[in-house]
Structure 1
Amino acid sequence: MKVRISKEVEVVEEQPLSPMARIFQSPEVDYCGVTIMGFKTKFCPDVLLDALKHNVSKHPRFSAKLSEDGAKWIETQINVEDHVVVPNIDPKEIGEDGQGFVDDYISRLTMIPLDRSRPLWDMHILNVKTSDAEAVGVIRSHHSLGDGMSLISLMLACTHKTSDPDNTIIPSLKRRETVPHGLRKQGWFLRSIFTVGSTITLLWNTFVDVVLLFATILFLKDTKTPLKGGADVGRNPTRFYRRTISLDDIKLIKNSMNMTINDVLLGITQAALSRYLNRFYGKNHEKESRALTSNQNHLPRKLRFRSGCTVNLRPDIGFKPLADMMAKDSKCRWGNYFSFIILPFSIGLQTDPLVYLEISESMMARKKHSYHAELVYFIIKSVLKVFGAKAAATIFNRPVENLTTCVSNNIGPMDEISFRGHPIAYIAPSNYGQSQALLVHYMSYAGKMIISMAVDPTVIPDPHKICDDMEESLKDMKAALSERGLL
C-alpha cells in the first residue's frame, strides 16, 4: 500500500514483517546483532559515507523504518550521516590500553537502544590502535533486519578481495549426503531396508526432540552453574571478547577424525567449558582441602548443561551474492530464515581429549537425523499466526532462558577482503539482548577461525580464561592425534 509519511519523504511502500522479524520486534526478544571488524589501516570516514550513499542506503531493509504498530516496514529516505558515528577521541582517554578502550566503548553501546524512528542500524568508527588492528569498525543492526548470513552477505557485497580488487570470494558449501556412499552401490533391497530404518529413526528422534522442546519451554531448566544467566541478563551491559585460532589445525583434526568442522568446534567448546567449570568448582574444594591437582574432577554429578545451536534453513548453506538473496522466491533468501536445535553438552573431565570430539560427532549425527529445527520454525510461525507475536515470542524465548548458552558457526571469506582500500584484519559477529550470560560465535576468515564471545561480566568476570581453555583443548586434541600417528 502506498502512503505518504511526511512532506520531505515522497510516496513510499509498506511491507509486512516476516514471522521471525516480528518475533525479534517483541520486547521479550529484542536482540541486536553486532559485527566488530578490525582494519589494518586507519579508517577514513568519508570513504564509508560515500559507500553507504551508493550501496547500503538502497537496500530495502536498511532504508526502511518500522510502522507505529511494529508490523510493517515503511520505505523511507535516509540520511546516512545519521547512522555513522565517528567519535572525537582524546588520546588521554585511550591511555596505553587501546583494546580496553574499544571493549568499554562497545559495551556501552549495548545499553543504548537503536532509534526506532529511523532504520534500525548504525556504524561506529574507532581510529584506535589495538594489538591486532589500527582501527575498529562496529556495525549494529537489529535482528529483525536479517540473520547472520544475510548481514554478512551484505558486507561481502560492499568489499573486495585484497589481492584482487575486482573479485570478492563468496564461499559456498553443499550439504552432506545422508545416505552412505557405499550403500548407493548396493541393490535396491538393501537401500530399501536402509530407507525404512532411517525413516523410523528420523520420526523417533523428531518425536523425542519435540517432547524435550516443550518440556524446556514449560519447566525443564539447566543446572545453575557459574555460566548460567537469568531472565534479567538481557538488560545488563554485554562485553565482547575475541580469540583467533588456527583453521588449518581444525581442518587437520576434521580430516583425521572424518567429521565436520562443526563437530570439531563443538568438541573444543565442550572440552573448554568442562575445564573452566572444573577449575571453578575446584577452587571451592580447595578451601576445604589443600590436596588439589589439576586433573581432579570437581564437577557436580548429573549436571544438565545444554546449548541452543542456530541452524540455517536455506537449501544452500554458503553465502550467496546479495542480488541472489534479494531476488523474489530465492532459495537463499534474505531475512531471518533460521531455527535452532537443543544440544545436550557433555560437561566432564576426559582423560582422552578425543572423546570430546567423538561425543560431539555422535550428538550432531543424531540431530541431523531429526526434523527438530524445521518443526521449531513451523511451531513458532503457527503460534504467531494463531495467537499473535507475544505468544510466539514466549515460545522462542523460554528455551533461551532455560538453556545455559548458545553456539553458532558461520563460514566467512576464504581470502582477506578490504573495504575500499582498507584491509580487514578480522571479523567477529555476535549478539546482545539475549537472556544468556554466554554466547559463542565461530567464524572462519582468511585461513583463521575467530572465536567471538558475548558475556555478562556480572556473571562471568573472566571470559578470557574460557578462550585460553579453547586454545589448550585444541592443542591437546592435535597432540593426541599426533601421538597415535593419525595426523
Structure 2
Amino acid sequence: MSSFNIEGGVEDEPVSPTGRLFLQAEVDSVINCAVGMKHPIDLESAKAALKDSIMMQHPRFCSLYVKDKHGREHWRKLDEIDLDKHIIEKNMTKDSDHSSSDDDDEETINEYLADLSVSSPLKTDKPLWEIHALKAQKCFILRIHHSLGDGISLMSLFFSCCRQVGHPDELPNIPSASTSVRKRGVFKKMLRFVLMVLLSLVYVLKFVVKTLWVKDEKTVIRGGSGVELWPRKLATAKFKLEDMKLVKKVVHNATINDVLIAVVSSGLTRYLDLQSSKKTKDGLQITGLAMVNIREQPGLQELATLMKNKSSTRWGNQFGFVQLPVYYHKYVNDPLQCVRRAKAMLDRKKLSLEAHFSSRVAQLVMTLLGPKATALLNYMIVCNTSFTISNVIGPQQEIMFAENPITHMRVNLTSLAHAITMHMVSYDGNAYMQILVAKDIIPDPQVLVRLLFNPKDSQMGWAENTQSCYL
C-alpha cells in the first residue's frame, strides 16, 4: 500500500521488504567504497559529473526515507538534490614527521574507514548516501545505505558514472562470471537433478540448525553478540589477479573464488596456530557467511537492464545467504589440497538451492512476522558463524570519474557481529581485499594479511609453489 505526500501531491513508494530489513537498528548496514584517484580531487568537476549522471535520476538516490502516521516506511521523491549536503570535504592533513608515501595515505584512509564503520550512521534528513572527499589522500569514499541496493546494483550504478581512460564516450566493460554450458544426456540430467534436491535438503537443514542452535566453537577469531559495537581496525591486501589465475589453472575447472576460499582457509589455520594459547583440534570447522547474487544472469549487469521493472535481472537487494565451512588443518603437504577442498565444497554449494532458500525464508518471515523478527534471525546467523566474505568483479581496464583516472577501489561494510569481514573487488588486473576486524579480538590485522596473501610468510607459498607445480 502507498501513502501520499499531501504537500507535493506525489505518491510515495513503499520500502521493499529487504530494504526494511537493512533499515532495522539491529542490521543497519552501510556500504563504504574507497575510490583512489590519480590526480588531485576537483570537487566542482565531481559535482558537475554527478549532476549529469544517471545516479541523480535514480529514484532511490533522490528520495527521503519517511514513515507515515501508521509507522509504514516509504521513499518520498525530492524535486531537487542539494549536492552540497551529500559531498563532505575532509582535510586529513598529513603529519609533517612522516613522508607522504602511498602507504601513509592507505593507513590514513583505512583508519578513517574503520571509524566510519562503527560510529557514523547516515542521517535520514536527506537521501541515504553521501560522498566523503579526502583531498590530501586523493580519495573519495562513497557511503551508500544497503537498503538502496546490493553490491551488484550499486557497483553498476557507480560504473555508469565512469568512462574508460582513453575512450571518454565508452562505459566500463564488466566481465560476467563465466558459465559454461555443457550438453548432458537424459541420465546425467536426472542425476544432476537428484543431486540438486539432495544437496539442497542437506544444506537447508544445516542452514536452519546453524541459524537457530549450533554455533562455531569459540576461537581467537570468532565474534558474537555485541561485537558489532566494538572499535575496528582495517587492513588492505593487494595482489595480482594473474597470481590467482595461475593457481586455478593447476586444478581442473577451478575458479578465482575457489582459490580465494582456499587462501582464507590456509591463512586462518596459520593465524590460529600463531595466536591460540591451546592446541586447536584438527578438522575444526570455521564457518563463513557470503551474500550470493540470485539474479538469473550472473555478474554485474548494465544499469538499464537492472532498472527495468519486469526484467528478470532486477535492481535492489537480490541475494541469498550461503554458509561456507572451512576447516583447520595443521599439516598440509600438498599446496593445492586446500584449493581442491574449496572447489569441491563450492561446487556442491552452487548446485544446491541454499541461497534461494535463505532469500525466500527471509521474505516469508518478513511477510508473516515483520522486519524485527527477520533482523533477529539475520543477527543470529551472524553471531553463530565466524566471518563474512564477498568478491565482486570490477572493470579490468583503467576507468575515470570526472576525467580523473581511478587507481583502486576498495569496499567494506559497517560493522557486523563478526570479528572478521573480508570484501574483495578486482580492478584493472589487481585485486583489493579489505579486512575489517574487531581490534580487541584481532589487534593486528596486518599479521592476518601477511598470513593470507604473502607467499614468503605463507605455509602454502601460493604463487611460487603453484608455479613450480604448473610449469
Do they fold alike, i.e. is TM over 0.5? Answer: yes
State how 1:4-403 maps to structure 2 within 5 Å: 4=5, 10-55=8-53, 56-68=55-67, 69=71, 71-76=73-78, 77-92=80-95, 96=99, 97-110=104-117, 111-129=119-137, 135-173=138-176, 176-177=179-180, 181=182, 184=184, 191-258=185-252, 259-281=254-276, 284=277, 298-301=279-282, 303-349=284-330, 350-403=332-385
Q: Which residue of 1 aligns with 2:4?
A: 3
In the TM superposition, what is the alpha-carbon distance from 1:215 to its structure 2 partner?
Answer: 0.9
Matched residue SS, 2:284: coil
Structure 2 length as normaliser, TM-score? 0.91
**Matched residues in 2 for 1:372 and 1:51: separation?**
41
**In structure 2, what is the Cα distance between the partners aligned to 1:266 and 1:15?**
40
Asked if the contact 1:442–1:451 (Cα under 8 Å) also holds between the matched residues in 2, the reply is yes
| 1:252/1:92 CA distance change after superposition, 3 Å | closer
Q: Percent identity?
A: 29
Local SS of the residue matching 1:460: coil
CA contact (8 A) 1:161 1:167 kept: yes
Determine if contact 2:93/2:136 at 8 Å carries over to the other structure: no
Amino acid at match of 2:210: T
- Offset at residue 203 of structure 1 (A): 1.4
Task: Give me the whole-angstrom Cα distance separating, in 1, the residues matched to 2:381 and 2:3.
Answer: 39
Question: Offset at 1:57?
Answer: 2.6
Q: Distance in 2 between matches of 1:393 and 1:142?
A: 16
**Aligned residue type for 1:311:** V
CA-to-aligned-CA distance 1:443-467 (integer Å, 9 cap, x gap): 1110111111122212211111121
Q: Are the aligned partners of 1:233 and 1:434 in contact in 2 as well (CA < 8 Å)?
A: yes
Q: Quick check: 2:234–2:445 contact (8 Å CA) kept in 1?
A: no
Task: Give the AA of the match of 1:366.
Answer: R
**Which one is further off, 66-75 or 17-26?**
66-75
- The 3 A distance-change label for structure 1 pair 147 and 65 is same
Q: What is the rounded CA distance, in whole Å, between the counterparts of 2:45 and 2:369 in structure 1?
A: 47
Distance 2:193 2:266 in 1: 33
8 A contact 2:162–2:402 mirrored in 1: yes
Displacement of 1:102:
2.5
CA contact (8 A) 2:5 2:76 kept: no
Counterpart secondary structure, 1:101: helix
User: Which of 463, 468, 471 lines up with 1:483 in the alignment?
Assistant: 468
- Mapped to 2, the partners of 1:365 and 1:105 lie a distance apart of 38
Deviations 1:199-250 (A, max 9, x none): 2221111111111111112110011111111211222333332121010111
- Asked if 1 retains the 8 angstrom alpha-carbon contact of 2:196 and 2:352, the reply is yes
Q: SS in structure 2 opposite 1:272?
A: helix
- Whole-angstrom distance in 2 between the partners of 1:261 and 1:441: 14
SS of residue in 1 equivalent to 2:382: helix
The 5 A counterparts of 1:380-459 are 380-459=362-441
| Pair 1:2–1:12, CA change in 2 (3 A) | farther
Paired letter, 2:454 = E
Q: Deviations over 1:407-449 (max 9, x none)?
A: 1111000101111121111101110131111111111110111
CA shift for structure 1 position 62: 0.8
- Name the Cα RMSD after superposition: 2.1
Q: CA separation of 1:90/1:64 partners in 2, compared to 1, >3 Å: closer, same or farther?
A: same
The whole-number CA distance in structure 1 between the counterparts of 2:412 and 2:231 is 14
Q: Is contact 2:394–2:425 with CA below 8 Å preserved after alignment?
A: yes
CA distance in 2 between counterparts of 1:42 and 1:236 reads 34
1:314-339 Cα shifts (integer Å, max 9, x gaps): 12222222222112212222110011
Paired amino acid for 1:14:
D
What is the letter of the counterpart of residue 116 of structure 2? L
> Structure 1: where are the runs of 5+ without partners?
130-134, 185-190, 286-297
Whole-Å separation in 1 of the counterparts to 2:454 and 2:141: 29
Structure 2: distance between partners of 1:237 and 1:50: 36
